[in-house]
Structure 1
Amino acid sequence: MTHKYTNALIDETSPYLLQHAHNPVNWEAWSPEVLKKAEKENKLLLISIGYAACHWCHVMEEECFEDEEVARVMNDRFINIKIDREERPDIDQIYMDAVQMMTGRGGWPLNVVALPDGRPFWGGTYVKKEDWMKVLNQLSDLYEEDPGKVTDYARDLAQGIKEINLIPPHENPDLYDKEKLAAAVAKWTTFFDMEMGGYKRAPKFMMPGNLDFLLHYAWAENDIQTKDYVNLTLTKMAYGGVYDHLGGGFARYSVDTKWHVPHFEKMLYDNGQLVSLYAKAYALTQDPLYRKTVEETISFVARELTNENGAFYSSLDADSKDDSGKLEEGAFYVWKAEELQDVLADDFPVFKDYYNINPYGFWEEGKFVLIRNKSEMEIAKMHGLTIDELARLIRSCKERLFERREQRDRPRLDDKILASWNGLMLKGLVDAYKTVGKSSYLEMALKNANFISEHMMREDGGLYHNHKEGRSTINGYLEDYASIIDAFLALYEVTFDKNWLKKAESLTEYCLQNHYDESSGLFFFTSRQDEFVIRRTLETMDNVIPASNSIMAKNLFYLSKHLYNTAYEDTAINMMKAVQGNFSEDISGYANWLHLVLFTQNPFYEVALLGPDNEQDRSFLQQHYLPNTIMAGSDSESNLPLLEKRFVSGETLIYVCQKGSCKLPVKVADEALGQIQPDQDSFF
């Protein structure tokens, strides 16, 4: 296929950047050389940030960046830079903060006009063609006529960008305690939607990190209200249209309050974390809905987001072509009643009630998004079926509809591989293996971990952030190290292969040498080896993905228990002290940190399993929800600190320890379980 235009993005590997490679705009990828070029020519930078699955990014491309009239203005007056936010989260963080400071809101596409050195002075999100051309001409004219005014504003804004990321010093305050935590959680509950789950607002994001902490808190503190809220939310999410009932997996969020109509893009980072969350909830409740959600989501990832080497791709687009060949959000996933009747024939009446092909499930323009709001028992009773008969009928309906759906034009795939997101999915597979026990999940996890080790590790012991078509071009960020360390530690605990523990330790040491900030006690997002614009970010607030520092603090705590390394634990505690002043004011933004509060305020156990039957005992224990426990094991002598001098030939022994001090060993796994969690099973 020949193209009228081709720009410098043609040499990139990011699918998002390649989507723009044939725009008439003279796009370039972010690099120090491009900034030097802008300074040499004294041209403003026009920086546009998005990602491949972003619906409004596609809309703005069609309206503005594919338009020759717009392109002339952009090319004549600016150096134009396109950034994939998923490849360059370090740059995205800076300009997102800038736009939020200027406008009070953010989102993608994120568009910024900056001085040649990268300091921004204007920003916004989606802009229509006429407004876009108008604002670009005005900004360019202003810079030509009054550059001092622009430079002064950019200088002040850059100072603000630095200041909002400063961590004030703490003078060894007392650790955040359970009394403060209970008060903060009580305040948090006032935002909970106790009818539909999530928060009392739309759109609704799933926020797996928040729910993961609340699950831990409910279990640790016997909090029935919080337990009920978590279960309600997990059930409504799995019932909702935000979940793909035919193919498995979750979309990013719902635009309404009942989890019905999603923003249809499907992201690896959501699904990896949600597999972990539902696996843990299944371990605690044994709810078959949670197990089914885990299994179907992993099937989706294996089928649609996994390459032949076991690496995981990034996302599926929200948009796909409808019957008329036009790109439309959700076209691949939604149904009209007539098509459902055609495919399902006599089974349609039951399916209609099960998935609400009625006003409750209606979206727009005659289209329905499948959503549940009744249990199997209610539907079976309505139609005079047994539960087993209903299950067989619905399974048959779903198989036929899935086959029909496969004939549609598919959403576009973002096939770049990101270390951080692969770590999240790897951890999800390990958590699923623990609780569901399918060996295929461990096989997937090991294949992915080996891919990361072989293709995303640098010669100096660090990580790459990205990989595509055999190329890794971007040095790892803290988020990459944090999620991979977390996943490798989890993998060690289900395999007892100490190589994964050693890899986790080695990556941690790399972070301490290249990312640690002595003054704050936290870790910089970017390595000291890499250049940065305006500031080197300290990421501390949890969002849809927990902050890299909060994951890193937990990693250090876990490693301190595995390796008896008190320096690691001291670092983790000091990290928590650096940010705990924010916990009560913004608890949802620090939820992943709060596990450390429970770890330090409640008993935390190290479990050593030694002997020929250690695998059987590990499997039994890990089928239970044990958030306050790490495990190590071996079928022979080991020099790992937790296992050393505890092996007895011919016997399988389980030691339950706290801070290296162990109770007398037991030979029955159920007895060890009783020492760890005497009451919680009956609570749930």
Structure 2
Amino acid sequence: MAPKHTNELIKETSPYLLQHAHNPVNWEAWSQSALEKAQNEGKLLLISIGYAACHWCHVMEHECFEDEEVAEVMNANFINIKIDREERPDIDHIYMDALQMMTGSGGWPLNIVALPDGRPFWGATYVKKQDWIEVLGNLFRLYKSTPERVLDYAQNMAKGIKQINIIPNNTDKDNYTIAILRKDVLEWSNYFDTFLGGYKRAPKFPMPVNLNFLLHYGTSLKDKSILEYVHTTLKRMAYGGIFDHVGGGFSRYSVDTKWHVPHFEKMLYDNGQLISLYSKAYAASGDELYRETVEKSIAFVKEELLSPEKGFYSSLDADSINKHGDLEEGAFYIWEENELKNLLREDFLLFSKYYNINRYGHWENGNYVLIRDTHEGEILKEYEISEEELKNKIAKCLKILKTTRSKRSRPRLDDKILTSWNGLMLKGLVDAFKYLQKDNYMDLALQNAKFILQNLRQKDGGLFRNYKNGKNNIKGYLEDYASIIDAFIGLYEVSFEEVWLKTAKELMEYCLANFLDMESGLFYFTSKKDEFVIRRTLEVEDNVTPSSNSIMAQNLFKLSKFFPEKNYDTIYIKMLKNVQSNFSKNTQSHANWLDLILHTELPFYEVAVVGDRFKKKILDLQKEFLPNAVFAGCKQHSDMPLLKDRHLSGKTQIFICEQGACQMPLTQTKKALTRLMV
């Protein structure tokens, strides 16, 4: 049967927008024409921002946007704009800042009422139906009766939105030092949960950016307490329900303190970063738990999020249809005890001990979320079985559960492909290959990189933001360029195919021409070619993903090692200088910047290997966790400065250089490692 209502969103490709295409609300996508329409009709903008895996977005849609009474109010008095925050982070940045200024907090769905030119004056997250009708009526009447009050407030809001994002040029000669860093990390550590990992609070988010920095910090400065905290967190997360023991991959966050009950949505950007992090942790520690976590997470991404063209989809929804036919969060993932008994039979008791089918693992209403908290050694002793036998039994049980689960109603897939998230996943595959050295990870990384070149590149050399059904309709943002440059540099370091490094350099030059703010030395989030509302954002704070500017600073640092003649170092040094005043004020929100501080303030090496066995020698070196080096290699000849004129017939030589000054070449990887790990 044909749907009763269809609005302009039916023309979009975003699954989130398409979910709203048959609402009775006259939704439109964000566009200049929509703003012009509001101005021509003298109507306010009602802007609602969310994303496909957002639980409360679905709740508000059902309660409000599918309701004809609500739609009548919205359609009569507003131009209604729906935005997928994952497609349009540029707009989301502006209105999230506005909401936080108005209310002190933020979240999604993010609902904003604004003047026809986009300046906001009211905002909220989830609102119930009757409250929504009432508040929209009040706002409309206020605008009609006293427009000068609304205009005055909106003007002040716009001024505040601009001011909080101003980053002046810092002429102070003092630099942020390792001594200050030690003090700031010590202060930050007061918030660490050293028993359960993460922070002393719920909900708990993985925060791979922070853990990546702390792993580097603890390793480089030999800080045992920080390393202990990092490994406690990584183990608890891998043991917890936030990790899908049956199908692999991590959920967005846990609602409790012990990483047990997740908010069940699975995001590509989380899993890409966590694959990278666990790969590094495996190299640093040799812990088999980390290797297994990487392998299972990559298997999940390949099975659930890989497109036929080798691009990666965005996410799986938290909600799915339960056995009663209702949409329920986590329905696909949870288990009842009797169901497990019937499926696992004689292995149930062992499985229940391993994954806590007891009070510790109980969630609610007789449902269990699998969680480990006991070391395997205790179970081996209690059940008097070998380690191999235990692993085989658990693997057999998980296989049975996966087969059973596959027959359930599946979570909805957000099948749009986002450039920046593909960059994060590509970097995860690069690091997985570097440290686990499984050829299929390299194969998949190269396939994805070729997909990016073929489908996400603009004719002028820039990038698109999105891809679906062979189409792109949004130009790339800084985070798209930053993550792809980072991934391509990393891909060169393991494949030694110079096309990836060359492309990274080309994309950097494009950003310098189209995104750079000469005053601050930082990069705008949007290109100078693109339109913007209220301001062009300078994104500097790291969050669940690194800020686009911190990644760009890291990229410039690495590219300066490969192409010293380009003077990239002057740019990243200025970037660091202009944000360093915030490092001590809010350390946890600048972790990726601080990772760069470790590079710049501690010894950092350029490692060049030339000769017939260069790949073998570099891969042997890269098995170790060496965050303080970049790698270049070739068999005979290359025009790259690091490799040029270094071939010596019959030998494979390892050159270890620091800021272009090289030590005497070595031929043995063990000796090279001794120098690099000092």
Give TM class, smaller chain: over 0.9
Tell me the residue number matched to 1:662. 662
DSSP-derived class of the 2:392 partner: helix
- Per the alignment, in what secondary structure is the counterpart of residue 486 of structure 2? helix
Deviations 1:536-588 (A, max 9, x none): 00000000001000000000000000111362011111101110001111100
Aligned to 1:524: 524
Residue 169 of structure 2 is matched in structure 1 by: 169
For residue 143 of structure 1, what is the aligned residue in structure 2?
Answer: 143
What is the match of residue 40 of structure 2? 40
Is the 2:355–2:361 Cα contact (8 Å) retained in structure 1? yes
The one-letter code matched in structure 1 to 2:282 is Y
The offset of 1:172, in angstroms, is 4.2
Q: Which residue of 1 aligns with 2:649?
A: 649
Compute the displacement of 1:438 (Å): 0.7
Matched, 1:601 2:601: yes
Amino acid at match of 1:190: N
Does residue 489 of the first structure (1) align with residue 499 of the second (2)? no
Q: Which residue identity is paired with 1:464?
A: F
Q: Find the aligned partners of 1:383 and 1:114 in 2 and give their Cα distance.
A: 65
Is the Cα–Cα contact under 8 Å of residues 218 and 226 in structure 2 kept in the other structure? yes
Deviation at 1:168, TM superposition (A): 2.6
Spell out, residue by residue over 1:101-132, the C-alpha distance to the aligned partner (whole angstroms, 9 max, x if none).
00001000000000000000000000000100
Deviations 1:592-639 (A, max 9, x none): 001121111110000001011001001101111010100000001111
Q: In structure 2, what is the equivalent of residue 81 of structure 1?
A: 81
Q: Give the conservation status (yes or no) of the 8 Å contact 1:559–1:565.
A: no
Return the letter of the residue paired with 1:148. Answer: E
Q: Hey, what's the Cα distance between the residues in 2 that align with 1:649 and 1:79? A: 72
Q: Is the 8 A contact 1:268 1:421 kept in 2?
A: yes
Kept in 1, the 8 Å contact 2:168–2:519? The answer is no
Q: Secondary structure at the match of 2:567?
A: helix
SS in 2 for 1:40: helix
1:109 aligns with 2:125: no
1:297 and 2:303 matched: no
Amino acid at match of 1:481: Y
- Show the counterpart of 2:51: 51
User: CA shift at 1:381, angstroms?
Assistant: 1.4
How far off its partner does 1:17 sit? 0.1
Q: Which residue of 2 is the match for residue 9 of structure 1?
A: 9
Contact map agreement 1:321 1:409 (CA 8 A) in 2 = yes
Q: Secondary structure at the match of 1:338?
A: helix
Partner of 1:325: 325
RMSD: 0.7
Letter in 2 for 1:177: T
Deviation at 1:387, TM superposition (A): 1.1
Contact between 2:204 and 2:257, CA under 8 Å: does it hold in 1?
yes
Report matched runs for 1:11-26 at 5 Å.
11-26=11-26
Superposed, 1:64-75 pairs within 5 Å as: 64-75=64-75
Answer yes or no: is 1:589 the counterpart of 2:628.
no
2:347 matched to 1:347?
Answer: yes
TM-score of the pair, normalised by structure 1? 0.99
Q: Distance in 1 between matches of 2:116 and 2:323?
A: 46
1:415 and 2:415 aligned: yes
For 1:324 and 1:573, how far apart are their aligned partners in 2? 59
Matching residue's letter, 1:393: K
Which residue is 2:97 aligned to? 97
Contact 2:610 2:652 in 1 (8 A): yes
Deviation digits for residues 27-78 of structure 1, max 9, x if unmatched? Answer: 0000000000000001000000000000000000000000000000000010
Where does the alignment leave 5 or more consecutive residues of structure 1 unmatched? 679-684
Query: What per-residue deviation string (whole Å, max 9, x for no partner) do you get for residues 275-318 of structure 1?
Result: 00000000000100000000000000000000111100000000
Q: Over residues 316-359 of structure 1, what are the superposed CA-to-partner deviations in whole Å (9 max), with x where a residue is unaligned?
A: 00000000111000000000001101100010000001000001
- CA contact under 8 A between 1:456 and 1:466: conserved in structure 2? yes
Give the superposition deviation at 1:173: 2.8
Q: 1:600 and 1:18 mapped to 2: Cα distance?
A: 47
**Secondary structure in 2 matching 1:516:** coil
Instruction: Give the structure 2 partner of residue 681 of structure 1.
Output: none
Q: How big is the shift at 1:664?
A: 0.7
Which residue identity lines up with residue 127 of structure 1 in the other structure? V
Q: CA deviation at 1:147?
A: 0.5
Q: 2:479 maps to what in 1? A: 479
CA distance in 2, matches of 1:73, 1:415: 32
Cα distance in 2, alignment partners of residues 201 and 534 from structure 1: 35
Distance 1:268 1:448 in 2: 14
CA contact (8 A) 1:272 1:428 kept: yes
Task: Give the match for residue 511 of structure 2.
Answer: 511
Query: Is residue 309 from structure 1 mapped to residue 306 from structure 2 by the alignment?
Result: no
- Map of 2:178 onto structure 1: 178
- Residue type of the alignment partner of 2:475: N
After TM superposition, the structure 1 = structure 2 runs for residues 524-563 of structure 1, keeping only pairs within 5 Å, are 524-563=524-563
Mapped to 2, the partners of 1:164 and 1:532 lie a distance apart of: 17
Letter in 2 for 1:238: A
What letter matches 1:70 in structure 2? V
Shift of 1:379: 1.4
Q: Which amino acid aligns with 1:259?
A: W
How far apart, in 2, do the equivalents of 1:640 and 1:169 lie?
A: 34
In the alignment, residue 473 of structure 1 is paired with which amino acid? N
Task: After superposition, give the CA deviation of every residue in 1:374-401 in whole Å (9 maximum; x if it has no partner).
Answer: 1111112121211111111000000000
Q: Which amino acid in 2 is paired with 1:659?
A: Q
Aligned to 1:211: 211
Question: Gaps (5+ residues) in structure 2?
Answer: none
Alpha-carbon distance in 2 for matches of 1:395, 1:157: 56
Secondary structure at 2:45 match in 1 = strand
Aligned residues of 1:64 and 1:128 also touching (Cα < 8 A): yes
In structure 2, distance between residues paired with 1:281 and 1:610: 28
2:202/2:255 contact within 8 Å kept:
yes
User: Which residue matches 1:265?
Assistant: 265
SS of 1:632's partner is strand
Question: How far apart are the structure 1 equivalents of 2:655 and 2:174?
Answer: 31
- Could you report, residue by residue, the CA deviation over 1:497-524 in whole angstroms, capped at 9, with x for unpaired residues? 1110000000000000000000111000
Task: Report the residue type matching 1:166 in the other structure.
Answer: I
Paired position in structure 1 for 2:367: 367
Q: Which residue of 2 aligns with 1:611?
A: 611
**In structure 2, what is the equivalent of residue 28 of structure 1?**
28
Structure 2 residue aligned with 1:153: 153
Q: Output aligned runs, 1:445-484, within 5 Å.
A: 445-484=445-484
Q: Distance in 1 between matches of 2:145 and 2:288?
A: 67
Paired position in structure 2 for 1:682: none
**Identity percentage of aligned residues:** 60
Q: Residue 328 of structure 1 aligns to which amino acid in structure 2?
A: E
CA contact (8 A) 2:264 2:330 kept: yes
Q: Distance in 2 between matches of 1:71 and 1:637?
A: 67
8 Å Cα contact 1:263/1:318 also seen in 2: yes
In the aligned structure 1, how far is the partner of 2:667 from the partner of 2:425? 34
Secondary structure of 1:204 counterpart: coil
Q: Which secondary structure state, in structure 2, belongs to the residue aligned with residue 522 of structure 1? A: coil
Deviations 1:456-509 (A, max 9, x none): 000000000000000011000000000000000000000111110000000000
Looking at structure 2, the residues matched to 587 and 31 of structure 1 have their Cα atoms a distance apart, in angstroms, of 37
Q: What displacement does 1:161 show?
A: 0.4
Number of residue pairs matched? 678
Whole-angstrom CA distance in 1 between matches of 2:143 and 2:359: 54
Q: Match of 1:79, SS? A: strand
Deviation per CA, 1:623-681, whole angstroms, max 9, x where unpaired? 11010100000001111000011111221111000011111111111111111103xxx
Cα distance, 1:221 vs structure 2? 0.4
Instruction: Measure the CA separation in 1 of the matches of 2:514 and 2:212.
Output: 30
Counterparts of 1:610 and 1:174 in 2: how far apart (Å)?
Answer: 40
